[in-house]
Amino acid sequence: MYCKPRPDRLSVWRLRGGELRKREKEGLRRSRPGRKWNGKSLHDYLDIKLARSATQLHHEAVLMELFTEADHLAEARYRKLLREQPGFVWRRFSDGEELMAYVFFPPGHRAEAAAPSVLFFHGGMWVGKSLGDFVPWALHLAQQGIAGIIPMFRTCGDYEVEPMDILEEGREAWAWVHGNAALLGLDPARITVAGSDAGGLMALHVALPDHSARWSLFRKKAPLPPGPAAVALFRGVCDLTAQSAFKLGGMMPPDQRDAVNPLRRVQRGLPPLFASHGGRDRLLPWRNSERLAELWRKKKNRSRFELLDVADHTFYHFNVNAAYFEQLLNSWSAFMVEQGIWEYNEGMDAGLLG
């Protein structure tokens, strides 16, 4: 398959001499750096911006301006940590382009370990690259004996790809991890998928079947295809028809959007769901995450919804608020132990802040 980049901007990641380096093609313009806040707080800035207009284009502008200077610095540090991890080519295109997956193995990991793992899909609403989003999560989980995998995937900001291409790429990344679990020392029955905003939509696409519930003459459902052990959402996109998801749903024809909308695909027999959201998130309302968790339970599946009342859109970032990070991590770990997917160890109760 040929991997066609966008003509106006291209960022290619290569593995050279054991290090991942970014090569930018000559003559192609760089991304514009983030804007300053002009001395205003984040909430004041958003209040002003949202008061001016409620259109979809404005919503996109506010979303992009959330990447502050502090976020860029943290992202740079996390990318450096990412480069220090073992990297594997999980997809190679006919023109030589490669997509890497970086694995955070537990200390002393061995091929016969059969460790549980989490496949993280980063956010960015398919416009920006936020590979560093889940580096703190992967680092901490590795200390608890849980491997973290962060794959690269194409986005609309850098390549001429359609939304379905990105969603299917998420499934292909999952298939690669599942198919190579034995070689990586992972338990194929304990692979969790996780993601934030559009990455959460990718995680749901991996876990949810394409077909609607089918009933035979004796009202028995067709078995679901093999899927992940669990799903974790960190303010994930749950409803493509919502105004807040226009950035993603607006790129799809209505019939395609309805076909992949997570709320229309929930049925019995799904893996456990852990959904979390910030109560003051002005970009992706938390009600949609709560609604998905309730529908998950209504269909006789197991779920937990964690609401951080005073947290905003950046609640799961370690560099924003370590206390929120620890609270969320403890709740998620407890849920996974209850489901029998992770094994309890004393390190889960040690805390990050002392």
Tell me if 124 is assigned to some domain: yes
Task: Round to whole Å and give the CA distance between 106 and 121.
Answer: 20
Q: How many residues does the chain have?
A: 354
- List, for residues 102-142, the tens digit of each pLDDT value: 999 999 999 999 999 999 999 887 787 778 889 999 999 99
For residue 144, what are its two tokens? Answer: 């608890």
- With 0-12 / 13-18 / 19 or more C-beta atoms within 10 angstroms meaning exposed / middle / buried, residue 8 is exposed
Q: In a 3-state reduction of DSSP, which class is residue 136?
A: helix
Q: What does the pLDDT read at residue 229?
A: 98
Residue ranges of alpha helices (H) inside 191-245 are 198-207
Task: Round to whole Å and give the CA distance between 86 and 67.
Answer: 28
Q: What does the pLDDT read at residue 5?
A: 60
Q: What does the pLDDT read at residue 171?
A: 95
Tell me if 53 is assigned to some domain: no
Q: What does the pLDDT read at residue 71?
A: 58
Q: What is the CATH number of the domain that holds 87?
A: 3.40.50.1820
- List, for residues 316-328, the tens digit of each pLDDT value: 888 778 888 998 9
Contacts of 116 (CB under 8 A, 6+ apart): 145, 146, 147, 186, 187, 190, 191, 192, 229, 341, 342, 343
Q: What does the pLDDT read at residue 247?
A: 66
Asked if 210 and 176 count as a contact pair (C-beta separation under 8 A), the reply is no
Written as tens digits, the pLDDT of the chain (354 aa) is 556 665 444 333 333 333 333 333 333 333 333 333 344 444 444 444 444 444 444 544 444 454 444 456 677 788 888 889 999 999 998 888 899 999 999 999 999 999 999 999 998 877 877 788 899 999 999 999 999 999 999 988 777 888 899 999 999 999 999 999 999 999 999 999 999 988 999 999 999 988 554 444 444 555 555 799 999 999 889 888 877 666 676 677 888 888 899 999 999 999 999 999 988 888 888 999 999 999 999 999 999 999 988 787 777 888 778 888 998 999 999 999 999 999 998 777 665 554
Tell me if 252 is assigned to some domain: yes
For residue 204, what are its two tokens? Answer: 């749901």
For residue 80, what are its two tokens? Answer: 């450096």
Tell me if 290 is assigned to some domain: yes
Tell me if 18 is assigned to some domain: no
Tell me if 61 is assigned to some domain: no
Q: Token pair 């395609």 is at which residue? A: 256
pTM: 0.76
Q: How many domains does the chain have?
A: 1
Tell me if 218 is assigned to some domain: no
Domain encompassing residue 156: 69-211+226-349
Mean pLDDT score of the chain: 78
Q: In a 3-state reduction of DSSP, which class is residue 74?
A: helix
Please give the single-letter amino acid code of residue 249: G
Tell me if 249 is assigned to some domain: yes
Task: Round to whole Å and give the CA distance between 115 and 103.
Answer: 12
